[in-house]
């Protein structure tokens, strides 16, 4: 969710004191992007409601958890990449092995 959309939602809730762009980028947006509490179809509304009820403080409290979730997501992405590389190597090796076996079978047929 972009800053403008977030502040518009806050305006719709009657919130006059809006977060700065830096507060949004450094504190609110990471929570919105990574915290599982906001992993729903209503995440945008929930995020605005949280700010309207508790202010920036609730987002600051959630930041340490967000760092853990973000780090874990990066680890998962790295492991997926490693898996894909290993799978490609395996598939190449397997294809070479199959070709080799087929060549050997042809040689045996010709010799017999």
pLDDT tens digit string along 22-39? Answer: 999 999 999 999 888 888
Q: In the numeric block, which tokens belong to residue 65?
A: 């958890």
Q: Does 49 score more than 70 pLDDT?
A: yes
| Rounded distance between C-alpha atoms, residue 9 and residue 25, angstroms | 16
Q: Quick one: average pLDDT of 2-26?
A: 93
The pTM of this model reads 0.67
Residue 112 pLDDT grade (very low, low, confident, very high; cuts 50, 70, 90): low
pLDDT band at 111 (very low <50, low <70, confident <90, very high): low
């Amino acid at each position: 969710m972009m800053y403008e959309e977030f502040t518009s939602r806050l305006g719709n809730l009657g919130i006059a004191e809006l977060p700065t762009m830096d507060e949004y980028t450094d504190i609110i947006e990471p929570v919105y992007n990574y915290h599982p509490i906001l992993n729903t179809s209503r995440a945008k509304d929930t995020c605005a409601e949280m700010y309207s009820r508790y202010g920036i403080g609730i987002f600051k409290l959630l930041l340490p958890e967000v760092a853990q979730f973000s780090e874990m997501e990066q680890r998962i992405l790295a492991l997926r990449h490693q898996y894909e590389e290993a799978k490609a190597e395996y598939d190449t090796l397997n294809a070479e092995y199959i070709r080799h076996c087929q060549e050997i079978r042809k040689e045996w047929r010709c010799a017999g």
